[in-house]
């Protein structure tokens, strides 16, 4: 089945170069006639003879990856003659850096919040002395507990000044 279609129509490379596609054509397995643009792009950017040389230099099992890489690079270079696929790499690297900073900042917030939450938990353990200083009632630490028993939803301002009432729009 494969051999019949192979013998009938030349590969995209040989068709493009207007030459006879021999059975041992190095392009044929990677540039099928159904994808004429693939070879046209690669040829335009790298040149057919360079591609042929390159394919001969790599192991047969690596040739498909090599061709896919060349096709990707060629397409990117045609779309963006200045930066080619480096443009995409650069954009993605910037994105990674931005997201890394965001992640670092979020982790720092997380550490800060969990540190703030730990202090009252340890001090109220034995009657909450620190809090009863301004509060008055000795055993009323629960009433003054700024919502420490609630998980994060209620504690968006754990260090702070607001008295722990949930904000309606959270
Ligand atoms: Zn061919």
- Tokens 């070879």 locate to 39
Measured in Å, residue 161 CA sits from the centre of ligand 1 at: 76
For ligand 1, an ion, list residues with CB under 5 A.
Answer: 11, 14, 21, 25, 27-28
Measured in Å, residue 85 CA sits from the centre of ligand 1 at: 27
**CA–CA separation, 143 and 22 (whole Å):** 89
**CA–CA separation, 36 and 13 (whole Å):** 8
Percentage of residues of the chain with pLDDT beyond 70 = 65
Furthest-apart CA pair in the chain: how many Å? 98
Measured in Å, residue 80 CA sits from the centre of ligand 1 at: 29
pLDDT at position 7: 52
Residue 128 has pLDDT above 60, yes or no: no
Percentage of residues of the chain with pLDDT beyond 90 = 61
Give tens-digit pLDDT for 44-98: 999 999 999 999 999 999 999 999 999 999 999 999 999 999 999 999 999 999 9
Measured in Å, residue 39 CA sits from the centre of ligand 1 at: 11
Question: Which of the pair, 8 or 117, is modelled with greater confidence?
Answer: 117
Measured in Å, residue 130 CA sits from the centre of ligand 1 at: 84
**CA–CA separation, 143 and 50 (whole Å):** 79
Answer whether 97's CB lies under 8 Å from 105's CB: no
Give tens-digit pLDDT for 6-24: 457 899 999 999 999 999 9
Residue 114 has pLDDT above 60, yes or no: yes
Residue 3 has pLDDT above 70, yes or no: no
pLDDT at position 115: 87
What is the C-alpha R_g of the chain?
A: 33
Average pLDDT, the chain: 78
pLDDT at position 110: 94
């Amino acid at each position: 089945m494969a051999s019949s279609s192979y013998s009938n129509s030349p590969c995209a490379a040989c068709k493009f170069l207007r030459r006879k596609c021999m059975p041992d054509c190095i392009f044929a397995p990677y540039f099928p006639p159904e994808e004429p643009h693939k070879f046209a792009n690669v040829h335009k950017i790298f040149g057919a003879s360079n591609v042929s040389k390159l394919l001969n230099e790599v192991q047969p099992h690596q040739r498909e990856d090599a061709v896919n890489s060349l096709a990707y690079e060629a397409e990117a270079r045609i779309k963006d003659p200045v930066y080619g696929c480096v443009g995409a790499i650069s954009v993605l690297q910037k994105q990674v850096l931005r997201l890394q900073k965001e992640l670092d900042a979020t982790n720092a917030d997380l550490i800060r919040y969990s540190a703030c939450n730990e202090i009252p938990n340890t001090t109220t353990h034995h009657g909450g002395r620190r809090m009863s200083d301004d509060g008055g009632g000795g055993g009323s630490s629960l009433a003054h507990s700024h919502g420490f028993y609630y998980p994060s939803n209620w504690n968006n301002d754990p260090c702070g000044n607001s008295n722990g009432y949930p904000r309606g729009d959270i």
